[in-house]
Structure 1
């Protein structure tokens, strides 16, 4: 770094590790060299919009690149007047080396307070001005679209197949709307204080910005690997499957799951593959560990629930407070436990005195989500809210007709308890025969616990 760089720039650079600093400092020159426009004297001093477009062409729309460039050009470096730093609009001069470095530090290593002015400018306002919720929503749609492009074009899909999933463009709008729903505007507009509070509480904003800048500009910082936005997906029959989720809705649901569920998702059941049979549903999800259930009704509503434990047939409620219900369409929302009761999960079949079906939340006859054992019928009754999860009616009609059902295992499958109880002599009959041949008495044979299987 030269002696002419301001104290502000030096302080920002110090946020990066020693091994990262050359990468950050060298980015300005790297961008210039990578652009065919780097032929004039001006581009040796300032970064132009065309140069940034060239660098980010495969991961962001032109509108998103313009947003990034405007934010870069708005950065203050504390440079003395006459130093050559751009002081007007980006079109009048360009982005200086110092401005680029301050921008990188505030996006990749900044606080919510430092990121708020950047988001303000990206959304169409000035650093100290205000923006509307609609402007923030438009910015988020561009940002989420860029993140989806990065996942798709940079090989980050982890086994998912967007061509065999839901409408991604619709998912982008729904995810942007969900993130905007956390805004708390003042007098109908968002000032810096509103944006700062929002960025602090909605972690996806910083995560998505980080990924956009890191991938778009090629800033590979070893100490800060990109966060996993998608769970790994084990091999699924994509040629026969049309998943109810799209990439943005998957990006939304993944962070809602409890920590530790990093195992590949495994498709347990789909009406497209396994037909319409409640017995098949039960057989598919029993003893499979935590799972995610997805429902689409004939009105087009998509919703479901997360089961924190394996499903077991019994006339009592099961599960724990990690369970939740959610909506995918017409809105993306998650509804967690209220603490009112412990009616998290319910699965029963073949009994005359208790309801037969699969349910989550509420109470018998008034579940937040219910699938009847008479396959194809269900209900989502919330008057006005599900007591267990605080969720509203999730389906298009209170009593709905099932159109499609999917169940995904999202954690490691538990060990088979029956396998654990079996003796090595049962596993290997040849070993038992050998013991008898050599005259060894199997003393424990009569001391085993009785088989509890009916």
Structure 2
């Protein structure tokens, strides 16, 4: 007696009988001699043995156990399939409802038969494993394949607006789950800038790479340098179309996932911290930095901006941010600012002007008072509000960082990029004033004007030391030149070093310590 057609059976009964869904696949394997199953990739093999045990345990925990299915003389235990209600009950408040539904849609729309039939409302273990495998271990193509299913619209109808909505949900879910699991590492959502605007700003920034792929004629929309380091004028750009008119196909999404590594990182966090699976993985160790010495601070930063900017720092500096200066705490004094940031290692400066724009820069080296530029090409400028972006080294010059104070012959203040009187970011020694001159762009970082006005009035500033905070050292005994900083700066300007530097008598240093 022949078995009924498994495909016909599936169409009629699995929608209302989840346990029979496994009977369908059991019959398929029997009838086809397991050929169809064996020709599919073994997604489970991507996980280490201990990881496989975790995935097995997770599926069982969501569904509640195994079900024994009988077919004639054969009996075989199968895991109970997942329903949306089971997934919601297991995850609870760990993830937002919208993301739980997206994950469920991503699983149940995985086509195991290749027949493109309407998906069942139940998720079997193989679909669950495929989603976990492709999002956690897969390449850009595999991840984009699942993302397209999580959009909850037919592939042929996917627009840029759907990708933007997904990206906003993804960022929101990352911050939500870290907050829910008490893993924000000292950052307080109630003591930071507006979260919702931060999510929208970051989603817009991450989506910019996709928009460039969809509109290649708009990729060059600003002034740039030619081969002779001369400014070139911007190309004429066609009018920007509405997002709903931009269609996205699989290749565009794949390129986007490849070019924007934050998407993969965010998916990693949502799955690992949402399901509490594979949570010992080292990938998440420096995802968000530990916040130190800022308990009383109402920070200029928001959590999405922290995640984004931290991803541009050198890896060894991503684990800790320590507040070393805040005008809200330490007052409005340029001398105090200098005293708090000199010799403190790489730093992030974050400023807010009187018009509400928030921006800043990363200094790759310790700040030092000297009459010449310092730092290296790892330094960058950035904006946080009203839009978020990072502007890295252009290759044009080496004017990364500049700090001077107390001299009459050279500019006094703190600057990054550009040149004297035309810095990409400048804080005057007067402290209440600054400028961001970028006509048409800052030469060092190819950044636009960061502030609302070219010459701005400073409202608030905070500085964070990043990475390992340098240990405090007792200063060596001073000589006569140490007290004459003007002479010291002039020597630096003409490229002359002090011959006695580093050759002082160790005994003198010991006396100073005592």
Alignment partner of 1:119 is 2:147: yes
Deviation at 1:245, TM superposition (A): 0.4
| Cα distance per residue 1:167-203 (max 9 Å; x no partner) | 1111111111111111144373221001111111211
2:292 alignment partner in structure 1 = 234
Normalised TM-score (structure 2) = 0.75
Task: Identify the match of residue 29 of structure 1 among 38, 56, 60.
Answer: 60
Alignment partner of 1:175 is 2:199: no
Say whether the 8 Å CA contact 2:198–2:303 is kept in structure 1.
Answer: yes
Say whether the 8 Å CA contact 2:178–2:273 is kept in structure 1.
Answer: no
1:155 alignment partner in structure 2 = 182
1:59 alignment partner in structure 2 = 94
Give the gaps of 5 or more residues in structure 2: 1-21, 68-77, 216-245, 479-502
1:191 alignment partner in structure 2 = 249
1:17 alignment partner in structure 2 = 48
Deviation at 1:217, TM superposition (A): 2.6
CA change 1:22–1:413 in 2 (3 A) is closer
Deviation at 1:233, TM superposition (A): 1.6
Alignment partner of 1:371 is 2:427: yes
2:127 alignment partner in structure 1 = 99
1:139 alignment partner in structure 2 = 166
Task: Identify the match of residue 302 of structure 1 among 346, 349, 358.
Answer: 358
Normalised TM-score (structure 1) = 0.84
CA distance in 2, matches of 1:375, 1:263: 30
2:110 alignment partner in structure 1 = 75
Aligned pairs for 1:433-452 within 5 A:
none
CA change 1:100–1:9 in 2 (3 A) is farther
Deviation at 1:8, TM superposition (A): 5.9
2:229 alignment partner in structure 1 = none
Return 319-328 or 54-63, whichever deviates more: 54-63
| Cα distance per residue 1:31-90 (max 9 Å; x no partner) | 0129xxx9xxxx9743111111222231222222211111101112348x8xxxx94244
CA distance in 2, matches of 1:169, 1:345: 33
| Cα distance per residue 1:232-256 (max 9 Å; x no partner) | 12232x23x2100011110111111
CA change 1:421–1:13 in 2 (3 A) is farther
Alignment partner of 1:351 is 2:431: no
2:269 alignment partner in structure 1 = 211
Aligned CA RMSD, in angstroms, stands at 2.8
* Count of residues in Structure 1 that have an aligned counterpart in Structure 2: 413
| Cα distance per residue 1:269-326 (max 9 Å; x no partner) | 1111111111111111111111100000011100000011111111111111111000
Deviation at 1:140, TM superposition (A): 0.9
Say whether the 8 Å CA contact 2:64–2:80 is kept in structure 1.
Answer: no
Deviation at 1:160, TM superposition (A): 1.5
Deviation at 1:102, TM superposition (A): 1.3
CA distance in 2, matches of 1:303, 1:59: 32
Give the gaps of 5 or more residues in structure 1: 423-444
1:399 alignment partner in structure 2 = 455
CA distance in 2, matches of 1:14, 1:155: 32
Alignment partner of 1:281 is 2:312: no
CA distance in 2, matches of 1:403, 1:149: 30
CA distance in 2, matches of 1:448, 1:105: 60
Say whether the 8 Å CA contact 2:352–2:461 is kept in structure 1.
Answer: yes
